[in-house]
């Protein structure tokens, strides 16, 4: 059995809203400094920096899951986690086909960098990534599940891009078991306000945009390092 301290929502310099030092090595070092041994890379509607962080993580003893923070047509954010880059790449293809093309205005939004494992800037992503992908949250959830991934509505308590503020509740036809809250609330406070959330597993993430933003709030013990085992462990202990 493996004891995990997990932070499953981490941005890199590919997200215009993230700090300029959110590069593979500093991210891995900051996670380990906070005694976190499992992270997921979840940039907005994009996946290109997951691979370099996974490479550094595997060298340094940090398990890094490939992921994405998807914005669906309801303007709700959800984190999508996978075991492999191949699965994530399949999701990226679907996102690419359904994300409206607006050139990124770097002066307004900030740059979006694709980097290598040493943190070298390979290219700027020219398309503005922070727009809703033209797909419903229910459909996106099914696509991620069919790919073998895990779909978790993100920062559900947040006004901006949170499921509760945009949709009022968890839609009954949304096939999820795990929900994410951010650092500004507690599971207890959320359930007090929305009693229907009591039947869900609620994880808490730092939604890490800066190196000092790691929370590491999710502690659980899993059979192995697969997403299936990690999911089961979260469902049984959080």
Alpha-carbon span 187 to 117, nearest angstrom: 36
CB of 189 to Zn ion, least distance (A): 20
Between 82 and 222, CB nearer to Zn ion: 82
Is 29 in contact with 55 (CB distance < 8 Å)?
A: no
Between 104 and 161, CB nearer to Zn ion: 161
Query: Can residue 5 be called a binding residue for Zn ion (CB under 5 A)?
Result: no
Between 54 and 152, CB nearer to Zn ion: 152
Q: Which of residues 63-122 bind Zn ion (CB under 5 A)?
A: 69, 77
- Is 6 strand, coil or helix? strand
> In the set 66, 207, 214, 234, which binds Zn ion (CB under 5 A)?
207
CB of 207 to Zn ion, least distance (A): 4
Is 143 in contact with 47 (CB distance < 8 Å)?
A: no
Cβ-based neighbours of 36, under 8 Å, separated by 6 or more: 5, 6, 7, 62, 214, 216
Distances (CA, A) of 233 to 1, 58, 109, 160: 10, 22, 38, 29
Alpha-carbon span 126 to 111, nearest angstrom: 9
The site that binds Zn ion (CB under 5 A) totals a number of residues, namely: 5
CB of 45 to Zn ion, least distance (A): 11
In the numeric block, which tokens belong to residue 173? 């036809």
Q: Which residue is nearest to Zn ion (CB)?
A: 77
CB of 71 to Zn ion, least distance (A): 7
Q: Which of residues 138-157 bind Zn ion (CB under 5 A)?
A: 154
* Phi, psi values for residue 26, rounded to 5°: -60, -35
Mark residues 8-47: x for contact with Zn ion by CB under 5 A, - for none: ----------------------------------------
CB of 19 to Zn ion, least distance (A): 13
- Is 189 strand, coil or helix? helix
Between 78 and 222, CB nearer to Zn ion: 78
Rg (alpha carbons) of the chain, rounded to whole number: 16
CB of 208 to Zn ion, least distance (A): 8
Give the footprint of Zn ion on this chain (CB under 5 A).
69, 77, 154, 161, 207
């Amino acid at each position: 059995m493996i004891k995990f301290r997990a932070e499953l929502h981490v941005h890199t310099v590919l997200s215009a809203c993230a700090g300029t030092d959110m590069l593979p090595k500093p991210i891995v070092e900051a996670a380990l400094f906070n005694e976190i041994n499992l992270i997921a890379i979840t940039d907005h509607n994009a996946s290109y920096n997951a691979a370099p962080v996974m490479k550094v993580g595997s060298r340094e003893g940090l398990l890094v899951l490939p992921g994405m923070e998807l914005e669906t047509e309801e303007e709700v954010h959800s984190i999508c986690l996978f075991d492999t880059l191949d699965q994530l790449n399949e999701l990226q293809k679907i996102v690419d086909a359904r994300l409206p093309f607006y050139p990124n205005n770097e002066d307004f939004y900030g740059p979006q960098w694709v980097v290598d494992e040493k943190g070298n800037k390979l290219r700027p992503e020219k398309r503005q990534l922070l727009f809703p992908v033209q797909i419903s949250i229910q459909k996106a959830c099914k696509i991620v599940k069919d790919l073998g991934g895990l779909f978790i509505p993100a920062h559900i308590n947040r006004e901006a891009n949170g499921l509760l503020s945009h949709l009022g509740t968890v839609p009954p036809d949304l096939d999820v078991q795990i929900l994410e809250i951010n650092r500004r609330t507690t599971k207890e406070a959320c359930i007090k306000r929305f009693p229907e959330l009591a039947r869900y597993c609620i994880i808490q993430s730092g939604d890490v945009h800066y190196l000092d933003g790691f929370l590491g709030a999710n502690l659980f013990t899993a059979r192995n390092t697969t997403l299936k085992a990690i999911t089961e462990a979260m469902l049984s202990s959080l």
